[in-house]
Chain A
Amino acid sequence: MPRDYDISNNEKQFVLEALKQNLRLDGRKLLQMRDISIVVSPEEYGYVEVTMGKTKVGCRVSGEITKPYDERPFEGIFQISTEISPICSPFFESGQTSNSKQSADEVLISRLIEKAIRRSNALDLESLCIIAGSKCWSIRADLQFLNFDGNFIDISCIAVITALLHFRKPDLEIDGDQLIVFDTNQRDPTPLSILHIPICVTFQFYNPNDNEENIKGDLNNELILIDSNLIEERLSLGSMTLTLNKNKELCQMLKSGGLNIDATLIIKCCSVASKLVDELTTKIQKVLKVDEEQRKSGMESELQVVNDR
């Protein structure tokens, strides 16, 4: 059994007392995110690093041509690999520890990302098919968890979707039975067909009164906050992850145990999340646009050199 963080009573009391007064240790409001930085690799396609506070996640998307699954001959393959190594925190242990609590945390994170991105059909699998039943693209997203200070789910979701949007696969041509793969210098590589941009928002719940009140009473004044850091995440009495996109479609919702939450509060969470999703989507698109423009200008200057010669 891996050890948990040793959080003292002093920290516990202080953080909860501060939350009651709408204050957090890093000076944020309850429904305020940390500053997010999304860095896409300028050299290659499909590598993204996302940092939020001290939490840092990297994601690489790669593709190869393989044979599709027999039962799904018209679809490509998409896999997300999420193995959390102790690099980010000794809290996560390497290797298989199947019946430990840590493993449960890790499984939860990978299942959620899988559910939010793969099962919400963000990536159009049919567009990955090249020749039905014999050739298709297999796209793989590898997440690297680099540092842990809470809120892995939201950040990894942003990393995966940004990397997918950033990734380009080489252009292809089918000539009879032959498949010609063009070099990136010969023909511009093509982006993946992304149908929508799902973004996760995780809420943590706290009860300002005792737990008894939450079960029996009808005060419903539970505190909700987003983008929790490590201490807040350890102290929370329950969490809920919503996945939405810009079109205000709810792709996924997970509330596994914890505090009882009133339906009205969930609706409130949805509207908060929807606003955030709008902001984050614009941010992601802006980052990608800047990157594209830089690539274009880089290419033009390169061509200019060729012309001059």
Chain B
Amino acid sequence: MAIATLKPQFEKERIVRKMPATQTLVLPGDEIQITSDPTQEITLGPNVKLAPSTSANGNQCNEEEDDDDKLIPTTAGLLNIQQKKATDIYFIESNTKRYTPQVNDLVIGTILGGFDVYYRVSLNNFSPPVLLNQFAFPNATKKNRPHLKNGDVVFARVSNCERNVDAELSCVDPITGKDGGFGLLDGGILVDVKLAYARYLLFEPEAPVLQALVKKCKFETAIGVNGKIWIKTDDLKTTIACVQVIQSSQNWESKDIKKNVAQIFKKLGL
């Protein structure tokens, strides 16, 4: 195949967010210009697809220079190109409300029920549930299974998602085999945010909103890229303040963050 150098790669975790080198708005129907060096390997991230060449007649274009191959966006959004040592990553950042599972995403789900050795977990309201195997917990054996009730909240990783099969979650860290922070989230509250914002909070190493919150109070948090943020503090009022900060900060400008956080805490008498 002429596309040997283009490995589709959907592992978002590998994308370490830095300031993107370039950002342009693309729409479905556009063609993405490959700006990297032709010898450079390219990695396709979320929402970028390789369109099959239209003029080529089957196998004949083998070994030829892939002039007819083009990258197309599958959604409207901002095109990000990140230059790494080994590869250039092309992906499109766009905002949606509904989450579709993708392997290695960190998600927060609500247990809806169970059957056999599986729990049914909801990642989105009104979306088909995904599965969580009872053995996908650290040190789980037939005798030592987790006991989760309906309505409990779990933090997990999407371990498997293929077409026509229910997606599966796992609460084991694939590298260490230990819990790695996954599992039941006790207490606290869930906040729904837009998907792009959840990704931003998770991947941005020093998200200014969280930095501002850290200065105000002590809290535990887990961020799921399915647009759910779990937050827990010692005190009810503080939690409410945190919920309000996270929810309303989606529409803040970065320069107002400190002022707005202070305002919300002050309003609640903290």
Contact = CB atoms under 8 A, between A and B. Distances in A.
Whether chain B is bound by chain A comes out as: yes
A6 B187 CA distance: 17
Contact of A10 (B112, B125, B190): B190
B236 A10 contact: no
B152 interface: yes
A14 B110 CA distance: 15
Contacts of B188: 10, 14
Contacts of B152: 8-10
Interface residues of A, number: 22
A1 to B, nearest CB: 13
A27 B240 contact: yes
Contacts of B268: 27
A5 B240 contact: no
A10 B239 CA distance: 12
Contacts of B178: none
Contact of A27 (B122, B126, B189, B244): B244
Interface string B125-151: 110000000000000000000000101
Contacts of B264: 27
A14 B187 CA distance: 8
B17 interface: no
Contacts of A3: 125-126
Chain B interface SS verdict (over half): mixed
Interface footprint category on B: 20 to 34
B237 A23 contact: yes
Contacts of B185: 10
B236 A6 contact: no
A10 B244 contact: no
A9 B153 contact: yes
Contacts of B125: 3, 5-6, 90-91
A144 to B, nearest CB: 20
Given A23-B240, A27-B267, A8 B126 contact: no
Interface string B149-182: 1011100000000000000000000000000000
Nearest to B244: A27
B150 to A, nearest CB: 8
Contacts of B240: 18, 23-25, 27
A25 B74 CA distance: 37
Nearest to A15: B189
A185 interface: no
A11 B236 contact: no
Interface in A2-33: 3, 5-15, 17-18, 21, 23-27
A24 B240 CA distance: 8
A129 to B, nearest CB: 47
A263 B110 CA distance: 39
Nearest to B230: A10
A34 to B, nearest CB: 14
A91 B236 contact: no
Interface string A21-65: 101111100000000000000000000000000000000000000
Interface of A: 3, 5-15, 17-18, 21, 23-27, 90-91
12 contacts: A6-B112, A8-B151, A8-B190, A10-B153, A11-B190, A12-B151, A13-B187, A14-B188, A14-B239, A24-B240, A25-B189, A91-B126
Please provide the 8 A-B residue pairs with the shortest distance between their CB atoms, ordered closest to farther. A9-B151, A90-B126, A6-B122, A8-B110, A14-B189, A8-B153, A6-B110, A10-B153
